[in-house]
Amino acid sequence: MALPGLPVLRTAQDTRARLRQIAARLHSNQQHTRQVETIIAAVREQGDAALLDFTARFDGQRFAAQELLVAPEAGARALDSLPTELRLALEAAHSRIEAFHCQQRPPDIDMTGPYGERLQRCWRPMTRAGLYIPGGRAAYPSTVLMNAIPAKVAGVEQVVMVTPPSKDGSVNPVVLAAAALAGVDQIYRIGGAQAIAALAYGTETVPAVDVITGPGNVYVTMAKKAVYGTVAIDALAGPSEVLVIADETAAPELVAADLLAQAEHDPLAAAVVLTTSDHLLSRLPSCLARQLAEHPKPATSARSLQDWGLAAKVATLEDAVDLANEFAPEHLELLVAQPDTLLPRIRHAGAVFIGPETPEAVGDYLAGPNHTLPTSGTARFAGALGVETFMTNMSLIHYTHGALEATGQHVMAMAASEGLHSHGESVRRRLKTQKE
């Protein structure tokens, strides 16, 4: 295995420029857009017929409509058949994620105004949620837990999962087991833009949902954007990324391990380290090479490091944080002696992994916070998937006659300034009615 070509930069200017390129590494193109629009329109108009047709074409499975739904007992069976070690792991992850998410239920407001009027904001679960779980090369039971648990904690009545069938038409048993553990109500063997369209508009077989969450390839992501507004969606996920800030105390082998844990996801994954340590920069290539040589499937990681990896020297750790804030990474690791001194300076990151005992992998699987995080710089305006992703709020306003008398003239003045005659009338008539 050759040395991975992790580029090394030494000026803030070069680093900033390269980070901008890395943040922009994924752009959808017009051709994808038109294809996705066509698929969505077909499923919306033709329902199951189109859904089955696309499943045959893209997933190679000639299902009948009644074969789309995975047998309800399959999940419990898969859970019972899991190796003990993995079952204990999933149960530990489930209980830790649930404990953290139980604290996320947004609080209601119930206040009484100065004239006895009652003003409320009530949060309620959405009725049906649709979870997209990618299939393909790997199975991701952690993605099932991270999407299903917040929906269940929110109180969603019906949690529907879709996942593309594997080559023999089956669904990965660990994914089935995780779904059973998390209380997923129904699983359909469909994937791609056609699965998103089915969840958004419903077909004869697949129920229409209120919100769609979960990661997917570029077609899935574009389909989610297309149906946004017809349903709610969690976010538009891009490829994953980590930015590691390391000082002289960071062990090069651990930095290398953490970079590789990001790079192995996807050739488009980005693993970046900003460091004050020349020692680390000089040791990193050989550490990466040695660890890559032990990797059972090194090609993806090598490609990702070469294309989107970066090691850069910074003058101070504060400079590193400033660059990180501009990049707004999905994952930010602080492999430094005094991480707490840097925390107040951090503005934009999906999740921060603090200190040498916190590899990103604990957050990926079971620390508790959600692993569905904003990518590609969107941490500027987006946070983790949460319980509120599956809830909505309703305002309640209950005025008294006294409140209307006290504030009615203000309503009429504002209505007049906006040229809305009947708005004012709706108040004036009530005040008059009572006086008569």
Of residues 206, 67, 68, 61, the one with CA closest to residue 130: 206
Cα→Cα distances 79→74, 76, 172, 268, 298, Å: 9, 5, 12, 33, 31
Decide whether 56 or 86 has the Cβ nearer to a second copy: 86
Q: What are the CA-CA distances from residue 122 to residues 25, 107, 128, 346 (Å)?
A: 40, 8, 18, 33
Instruction: Choose the catalytic residue: 101, 331, 333, 360.
Output: 331
- Let me know if 330 is a catalytic residue: yes
Instruction: Establish whether 115 is an annotated binding residue.
Output: no
Tokens of 136: 């393909």
Nearer to a second copy, 113 or 267 (CB): 113
CA 56/CA 189 separation, integer angstroms: 12
CB of 38 to a second copy, least distance (A): 12
Least gap, CB of 83 to a second copy (angstroms): 8
The reply, when asked if residue 340 is annotated as ligand binding, is no
Tokens found for residue 198:
């089915």
Cβ 55 to a second copy, closest distance in Å? 24
Say if residue 421 carries a ligand binding annotation: no
Is 27 labelled as part of a ligand binding site? no
362 and 89 Cβ atoms separated by less than 8 Å: no
306 is in an annotated binding site: no
Q: State which residue, 217 or 358, has the beta carbon closest to a second copy.
A: 358
CB hemisphere CA count around 308 (13 angstroms): 29
Q: Nearer to a second copy by C-beta: 52 or 328?
A: 328
Greatest Cα pair distance, the chain, in angstroms, is 92
* Residue 95 annotated as lining a ligand binding site: no
Considering the complex, what minimum distance in angstroms separates the CB of residue 50 from a second copy?
19
Burial of 111 (C-beta count, 10 Å sphere; 0-12/13-18/19+): exposed
Residues 6 or more apart from 378 whose CB is under 8 A from it?
A: 235, 236, 238, 328
- 48 a known binding residue? no
Q: Is 157 annotated as a binding residue?
A: no
- Which C-beta is closer to a second copy: that of 248 or that of 418? 418
User: Helices in 328-417 by DSSP H: which ranges?
Assistant: 339-342, 360-365, 401-417
The burial of 277, by beta-carbon neighbours within 10 Å (0-12 exposed, 13-18 middle, 19 or more buried), is given as buried
- Of 206 and 352, which CB lies nearer to a second copy in the complex structure? 352
In the residue annotation, 98 being an active-site residue is answered as no
SS3 346: coil
- List of long-range contacts for 103-110, beta carbons under 8 Å, 24+ apart: 104/150, 104/153, 104/386, 104/387, 104/388, 105/153, 105/154, 105/387, 105/391, 106/387, 106/388, 106/391, 106/393
Phi–psi pair at 316, nearest 5 degrees = -140, 160
Minimum Å gap between C-beta 66 and a second copy is 28
Give me the least distance between CB of 63 and a second copy, in Å please. Answer: 26
137 CB contacts (<8 Å, ≥6 apart)? none
- Judge contact between 141 and 90, C-beta under 8 A: yes
Is 184 within 8 Å of 159 (Cβ atoms)? yes
- Measured from the CB of residue 12, what is the shortest distance to a second copy in angstroms? 21
Residue 389's closest CA among 240, 227, 212?
A: 212
Q: Of these residues, 264, 330, 333, 360, which one is catalytic?
A: 330
Q: Which is nearer to a second copy, 14 or 117 (CB)?
A: 117
- Whether residue 418 is annotated as binding a ligand: the answer is yes
Question: Which residue number, 73 or 85, has a Cβ lying nearer to a second copy?
Answer: 85
147 is in an annotated binding site: no
Tell me how far, at minimum, the Cβ of 412 lies from a second copy, in Å. 8
> Which residues participate in catalysis according to the annotation?
330-331
Binding residues for substrate: 240, 262, 265, 331, 364, 418, 423
Known binding residues for NAD(+):
132, 194, 217
Summarize the annotated binding site for Zn(2+) as residue ranges.
262, 265, 364, 423
Residues annotated within a binding site: 132, 194, 217, 240, 262, 265, 331, 364, 418, 423
